[in-house]
């Protein structure tokens, strides 16, 4: 399948670091490792849970220095916000060559002093969202960070409007199969009110129905969210293993509510195999757009708790994790049996052989459907290209080896045979513990 052309080059001469006039380091500021929770490439949250602390709307302090651009002005109500805000503004002006940031700094400082927060310009929002992807230590697909399209929906706060905008996001991202990297940013948290929340881990999730004997029909990962949706009034789907869950959205100062996704917003791919006709009888499928929706976009101290975003799938995320993990769809025993493999001993490598065929089926099916997908060998090479480009621009690339190395054939890929800087930088996509609790249905309503 021909690759989707993407813009992959940033302006020449982008700077990595710039020293702020007040002495605080302004660019690519490192944050503590225990706050590590950047762009989980689709399905990534199934590996680890972050221990990052919760933030009440204004973000963590990044520097003890809270001085503003003019020492004659009173200190802001929230002095911990200013270092993060000023560092981001300086970084934005330096990297995009926007000239002296003094006027913008003064404007933001006055707004923080008056209201306790400040509003990003559309250009700042776009820059911050893209750099957050560039800073995502757990994502292998960052070569295309500068192609991320940003939809500014900060004016929306009502649950029904947010749900409709999420459906539009999926339509725009899918493009009939030519998947587009996209983020939709809703209202941020503020000192006097929380922003909206999307409870689903991804905009498209499959239900997990717990049976009386304890078995789960569908995705066991989503059994808690499925039960919560039922308590909120969802009647359930057809009872298949691939029933699409409704969106659970909480507007500003509102309770969570359920909204069914329109069928035209959910692009799915039937999973078949090019060599085995019986594979179609398994009736497998998976959705085409991996739109993460519980991660917080943190830019310059501002927390956008509702900011769903997507790239496109790497085949192993579906074939080696979602459909294969024993705590997910656990399909390897069933596939091995149909392949006639000896499952009485692990030494027959029946799991490995079934896993390869399952991943072949995913890639074949997406290609036949004309839906963008990448394989782990290609994406590993692209990641090294990304490293090389960033290093030539003077920027250090952070990465988590355990997430960058693919879940199958790791040593056969070039990303396996090296180490990485694990420092997490901001802006960033962060997974807060309470968001994970909402996605698992643990919050009571």
- Name the residue with tokens 């995009």: 96
| Cβ(195)–Cβ(251) below 8 Å | no
Distance from chain centroid for Cα 147: 15
Residue 240 phi, psi dihedral angles, 5° rounding: -85, 170
- Name the residue with tokens 């940031």: 101
Name the pairing type of β-strands 428-430 and 149-152. Answer: unpaired
Residue 390 phi, psi dihedral angles, 5° rounding: -65, -40
**Hey, which residues are catalytic here?**
139, 142, 312, 317
Own/partner pairs, 349-358, CB within 8 angstroms, 24+ separation: 355/319, 355/320, 355/324, 355/408, 356/408, 357/273, 357/276, 358/319, 358/320, 358/323, 358/324, 358/331, 358/332
Query: Of 358, 350, 205, 333, which is closest to residue 272 (Cα–Cα)?
Result: 358
Query: Of 425, 180, 134, 400, which is closest to residue 309 (Cα–Cα)?
Result: 180
């Amino acid at each position: 399948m021909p690759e989707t052309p993407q813009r992959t080059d940033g302006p020449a001469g982008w700077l990595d670091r710039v020293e702020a006039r007040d002495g605080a380091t302004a660019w690519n500021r490192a944050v503590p490792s225990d706050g590590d929770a950047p762009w989980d490439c689709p399905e990534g949250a199934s590996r680890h849970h972050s221990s990052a602390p919760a933030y009440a709307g204004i973000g963590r302090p990044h520097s003890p220095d809270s001085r503003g651009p003019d020492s004659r002005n009173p200190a802001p109500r929230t002095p911990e916000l200013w270092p993060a805000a000023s560092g981001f503004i300086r970084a934005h002006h330096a990297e995009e060559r926007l000239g002296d940031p003094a006027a913008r700094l003064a404007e933001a400082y006055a707004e923080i002093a008056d209201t306790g927060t400040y509003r990003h310009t559309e250009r700042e929002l776009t820059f911050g969202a893209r750099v957050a992807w560039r800073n995502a230590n757990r994502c292998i697909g960052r070569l295309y960070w500068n192609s991320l399209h940003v939809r500014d929906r900060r004016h929306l706060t009502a649950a029904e409007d947010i749900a409709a905008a999420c459906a539009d996001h999926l339509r725009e991202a899918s493009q009939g199969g030519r998947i587009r990297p996209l983020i939709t940013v809703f209202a941020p948290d503020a000192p006097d009110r929380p922003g909206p929340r999307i409870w689903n881990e991804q905009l498209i999730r499959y239900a997990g129905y717990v049976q009386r004997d304890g078995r789960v029909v569908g995705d066991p990962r989503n059994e808690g969210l499925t039960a919560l949706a039922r308590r909120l009034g969802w009647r359930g789907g057809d009872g298949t293993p691939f029933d699409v869950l409704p969106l659970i959205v909480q507007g500003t100062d509102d309770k969570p509510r359920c909204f069914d996704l329109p069928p035209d917003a959910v692009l799915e791919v039937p999973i078949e195999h090019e060599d085995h006709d019986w594979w179609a009888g398994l009736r497998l499928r998976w959705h085409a757009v991996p739109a993460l929706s519980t991660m917080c976009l943190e830019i310059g101290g501002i927390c956008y708790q509702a900011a769903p975003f997507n790239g496109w799938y790497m085949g192993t995320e579906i074939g080696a994790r979602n459909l294969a993990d024993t705590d997910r769809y656990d399909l390897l025993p069933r596939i091995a049996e149909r392949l006639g493999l000896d499952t009485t001993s692990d030494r027959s490598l029946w799991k490995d052989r079934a896993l390869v065929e399952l991943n072949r089926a995913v890639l074949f099916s997406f290609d036949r459907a004309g839906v963008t997908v990448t394989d782990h060998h290609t994406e590993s090479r692209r990641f090294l290209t990304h490293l090389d480009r960033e290093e030539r621009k003077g920027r250090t690339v952070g990465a988590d080896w355990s997430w960058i190395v693919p879940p199958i054939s790791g040593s056969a890929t070039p990303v396996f045979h090296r180490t990485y800087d694990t420092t997490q930088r901001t802006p960033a996509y962060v997974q807060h513990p309470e968001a994970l609790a909402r996605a698992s249905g643990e919050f009571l309503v």
